[in-house]
Structure 1
């Protein structure tokens, strides 16, 4: 599928000690970047200052994301210590979470890989013809979760795409993807007190910096299970599992398989447990936020405050036969109701009930093992959707690994 990030307004959670660490709209607008339609998708990144145009295609365990950026040296010049989001300062626009089906799925055959190559090749052609992106300014990158989710298919895709289009696919490691996501969300001044975790479809990864400032060292951790890979593993182990008891089986799988993978990493990085703030991202976090906090998501806030027990709440909804929520609150305005209804449809297209159950168990297991109940703040930064690929392009541009002038 193609999934486009939702609108991230400047609204902020004001409760407790959260306010001082949030990005205000005036900070977001400093870089002058605006989000506008591309003709390919309802939203993509474009810059207010004129700059060179770049295309980005991301292949993830949940599908594909296509973006267009206009970057200039003036926009990204200097080393201000801002997060990637602050540097690009986006205003998100268009309909959130637009979806286009992708044939790339776990366990599918070589024909699925060929169809995926067809899709990517079509996006390349459209970026060139419709948006004027040159071949040398196109970047195609595969997330770390794809290696966990569909590694054999990814190898076929890389070979066939290179032969057909001449374009290579960059594949990032879990560590790199986690660090890129962190730097997209968190400015340098906030390093040292934030743990960021991404519960993806193919894997779960995250980490923190050991101190604030430029010389901080990033400590990462990861496990090769995400919402979809864990659902597949649970179904393989418990083939008779049904929606009402899938979460129980997933809880058992977390306890005997996932938790032991995290435990030595936590012991090697004890500061993980003392970070006062946790920023959570990933598809299951998005789905949970929409189902449990429809008003906040309908308002398209930049930050949504979560509770440690939210994923257990979602798990109970699933076990009770209402995996996508038990109805919308009557307080939603007609406009907000339409937004949430459409987004819930996108969630159904992204996760079936078994996958939602696995993701809820995975996220709840993480919440318990990482002791979220002791943290000062637990937040979902809604602007982080696919943010790591934006950070990837920023760094590629600043490091001179892509041409900066036409």
Structure 2
């Protein structure tokens, strides 16, 4: 983004007295700041429904113009996705750059995307957003000294058709590249299923602390610095799906995946583009819904996350709630109440308790038994030492006697050696 100082006026319409309207405006300000845009002022309006031509009522346009002048602002950011004609009309009247919540979120995603897949997904979403808005964007880009040129209209329209075709071709090319990456990930997922390693997925609102929880678990059970995932106190720090193996001391292990955080009014272009990444969640055996317990709006965050998961078809997966950042409020932690755990990942309070709750849900198919393994089957003893929880080993006349806890599949497979 250019180092030009961007000062914005935020504009929102509260339709039919939405309960979360104030919060969505506050969040719009946070999104703007995440894009290095300074928020200079705010204009809101209560309406039954948005005005089809300008989103806000024509009287409010004058108020926005006055706010632009008073705060020397140069951009207006709207709290909802604007139609192409609304962008065109607003820019003509306000004589400045107009953007909406969707393009703001797309912009943040574009800045944060690090992997090839995330970059392709963001680009597809941006192009799909641009396609119906070419005329409005063209006028916005061509704005010289505030005036919009209308000469050579015919030529412009031909150019527009060309642009549209180019964008559609580009979307097709990018989607083909994405398909190849998705196929690769599906192969990896099949392999993981074959290995019967349980998958636990972290989900939640953006900036709830998913990556911090992941790093806390990695640090405790798999402490190699290279395994740490990026964490920062900002919106959408994580766009890539990170997968880490968490080996527990009793030879049980699970895979932990960290996904992109959600936000209210997450653009449908983005949900579609990131669908393949979000599908990782659908394959999980257990979800850990991470909640920022110190945020006064955390109940709304829970609803938004659950609704987004429903939108992408993630339903019926056992979920435990990790109320993170509980050290910031008056609460005795760690505390476990059924499938809810109150913890603080940053200072590493409650990590053992979290693992205890995870264990309860994902290692239900383990069987305790005793086996007598003949001495000529020493490779089996090695296998169980690696893949089971050995309670006791003794050497008898007939072979090695193991008292162990193993997976039900291994119990079935090695029936002939079971003595109890």
Give TM-score, length-normalised by structure 2: 0.25
Give TM-score, length-normalised by structure 1: 0.26
Q: Which has the larger radius of gyration?
A: 2
Higher strand share: 2
